[in-house]
């Protein structure tokens, strides 16, 4: 039996994520919800060049959310839209639908809403849902425990038009207990999709952990991984770091590096 997935958002990244879901043999894109009424009633699969009907597009403006979730149950919602979409999750959570939120930044109000929903269903939230970046975060935490005296800097590179500091870089700094203003360095050039680097400086060596997204399909592959992982979880709030946790490292302090 396939995993039924509903999706919020069908923009530049969302459409590529939808394409990855349609291509996955275990998943079925049941529907796409968006604020815009563009392409309403059409199928995401057709819009993306497939020759079958999958992922009918609906506008939030024209549906009753309670009736919609009752008639269009899905196992998992994957969200690549905006923070405000959390307002439309509550009815889905009541039906037991799990939620994968890949929104880069939440304000306190919408983050609290996610926490509230986690009391009803399993919710996974990650500002960057690629497998690689979350492995980078986990590996960086392990290395920090091994070398607690290392200098650490975070470098994030994105396309020239990106204004804000990377939410992923801020998350890395938070996870490593670093001051976000002092240890996050931003570069904006050309059309870089996204590159994050954590630099560990030791007296006799430098260690760099780097992740680079070459294509937005990486977000789709991460979201699918998260959806499959979340199906086996009880209600609660989860992170992508947990989904790729380096649990095999039992006691990194044994290998602590001193100056």
Whether 35 is catalytic is no
Strands of the sheet with 184-188, listed across from one edge? 184-188, 151-158, 194-202, 205-213
Whether 105 is catalytic is no
* Tokens (6 digits) for 81: 């839209």
Place of tokens 């939120």: 101
Question: What would you report as the CA-atom Rg of the chain, rounded to the nearest whole angstrom?
Answer: 19
Q: Which residues of 209-224 are buried (b: 16+ CB within 10 A; e: fewer)?
A: bebebeebbbbbbbbb
User: DSSP code of 147?
Assistant: S
Looking at 35, 91, 162, 235, which residue is catalytic? 162
- Cβ within 8 Å of residue 246, ≥6 positions away: 135, 138, 139, 142
Looking at 158, 183, 196, 211, which residue is catalytic? 158
The catalytic residues are 158, 162
């Amino acid at each position: 039996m396939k995993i039924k997935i509903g999706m919020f958002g069908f923009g530049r990244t969302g459409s590529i994520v939808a394409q990855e879901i349609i291509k996955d043999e275990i998943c079925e894109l049941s529907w796409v919800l968006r604020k815009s009424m563009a392409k309403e009633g059409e199928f995401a699969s057709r819009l993306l060049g497939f020759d079958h009907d999958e992922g009918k597009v609906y506008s939030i403006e024209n549906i009753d959310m309670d009736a919609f979730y009752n008639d269009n149950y899905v196992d998992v919602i994957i969200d690549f839209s905006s923070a405000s979409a959390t307002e439309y999750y509550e009815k889905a959570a009541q039906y037991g639908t799990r939620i994968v939120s890949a929104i880069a930044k939440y304000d306190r109000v919408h983050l609290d809403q996610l926490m509230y929903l986690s009391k009803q269903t399993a919710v996974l939230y990650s500002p960057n849902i690629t497998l690689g970046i979350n492995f980078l975060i986990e590996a960086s935490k392990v290395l920090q425990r091994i070398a607690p005296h290392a200098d650490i800097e975070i470098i994030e590179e994105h396309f020239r038009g990106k204004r804000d500091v990377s939410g992923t870089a801020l998350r890395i700094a938070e996870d490593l207990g670093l001051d976000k203003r002092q240890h996050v360095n931003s570069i904006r050039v050309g059309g870089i999709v996204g590159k994050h680097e954590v630099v560990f400086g030791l007296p006799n060596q430098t260690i760099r952990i780097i992740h680079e997204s070459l294509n937005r399909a990486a977000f789709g592959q991460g979201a699918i991984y998260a959806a499959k992982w979340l199906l086996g979880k009880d209600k609660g709030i989860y992170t992508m770091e947990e989904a790729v946790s380096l649990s095999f490292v039992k006691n990194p302090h044994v290998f602590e590096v001193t100056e």
